[in-house]
């Protein structure tokens, strides 16, 4: 069976690091892999890359031996199939609010008997010498995003769907939903309470708990809360921070 660095890292008990890629750049991904991040997410929802960029980035990730996950723009089977068929180990679906949403997602991400994924792993079959069909369901990592009050209300039903391997919290959207658009504060009490609930439910349902952290302090906090996978930076953030720091250091502004 194909090596499974994501689940192996989760078994270690330490927090698994994830870097978010929004520029659509294979070189940026290689630099992140060289730095030592555990996993990489290719963002097709809010990122700047398209399908060809995604394939190039997955290829770069394979060469650098770093697991690549793809966040698709929305929960649509064709998008899920294309990401997995291109060789991504995982796929992330945003705005999963109901059990039906989760069922549709898992069905597209897993082959029978778990789901109804269509056969056609053109590039995915190149990642190993083994038979892809024999391990795909256990190897692929299907992650649902919890970003709304409705999703919180349906959390047990969503996490209970067979084929859902992980739950990813988007604190920004979650705060907007919980405060009805009045705040964009990921440290709001309602968000912090929701984080605790999600970790608790993830343990009950034996799915991995993942959080997107906007800054390093938040990342450390959610690790202490028990999140197993933490996104602690992005290519856009690293470039912005480095550019600002260099300008200030050299030119004083």
- Name the residue among 238, 252, 251 with its Cα closest to residue 28: 238
CA dihedral of residues 170, 171, 175, 181 (deg, nearest 10): -60
Domain range list for the chain: 5-144+209-251
Q: Render pLDDT for 44-99 as a digit per residue (tens, 0 to 9).
A: 999 999 999 999 999 999 999 999 999 999 999 999 999 999 999 999 999 999 99
Q: Is 62 exposed, middle or buried (0-12, 13-18, 19+ CB in 10 A)?
A: middle
Sign of CA dihedral 203, 207, 211, 216: positive
Q: What is the pLDDT of residues 190-238, one digit of tens each?
A: 999 999 999 999 999 999 999 999 899 999 999 999 999 999 999 999 9
Identify the active-site residue in 46, 74, 81, 205. 46
Tell me: pLDDT of 1 over 70.
no
Q: Could you tell me the fold of the domain covering 5-144+209-251?
A: TIM Barrel (3.20.20)
Tokens of 232: 């602690």
**What band does 123 get if pLDDT is binned at 50, 70 and 90?**
very high
Is residue 46 annotated as a catalytic residue, yes or no? Answer: yes
Percentage of the residues of the chain whose pLDDT score is greater than 70: 99
> Which has the closest alpha carbon to 207: 146, 251, 253?
146
């Amino acid at each position: 069976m194909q090596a499974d660095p994501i689940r192996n890292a989760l078994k270690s008990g330490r927090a698994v690091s994830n870097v978010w890629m929004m520029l659509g750049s294979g070189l940026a991904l290689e630099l992140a892999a060289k730095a030592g991040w555990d996993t990489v997410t290719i963002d097709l929802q809010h990122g700047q890359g398209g399908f060809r960029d995604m394939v190039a980035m997955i290829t770069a990730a394979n060469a650098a031996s770093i697991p690549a996950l793809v966040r698709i723009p929305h929960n649509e089977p064709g998008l899920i199939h294309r990401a997995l068929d291109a060789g991504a180990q995982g796929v992330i679906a945003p705005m999963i609010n109901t059990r039906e949403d989760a069922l549709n997602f898992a069905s597209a991400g897993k082959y029978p008997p778990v789901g109804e994924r269509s056969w056609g792993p053109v590039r995915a079959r190149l990642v190993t010498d083994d038979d892809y069909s024999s391990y795909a369901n256990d190897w692929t990592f299907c992650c649902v995003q919890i970003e709304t009050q409705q999703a919180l209300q349906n959390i047990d039903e969503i996490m209970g769907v067979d084929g859902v391997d992980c739950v990813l919290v988007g604190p920004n959207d979650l705060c907007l939903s919980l405060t009805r658009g009045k705040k964009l504060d990921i440290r709001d009490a309602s968000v912090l309470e929701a984080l605790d609930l999600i970790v608790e439910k993830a343990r009950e349902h034996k799915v991995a708990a993942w959080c997107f952290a906007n800054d390093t302090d938040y990342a450390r906090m959610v690790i202490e809360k028990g999140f197993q996978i933490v996104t602690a930076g992005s290519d856009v953030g690293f470039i912005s921070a480095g550019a600002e720091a260099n300008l200030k250091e050299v030119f004083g502004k």
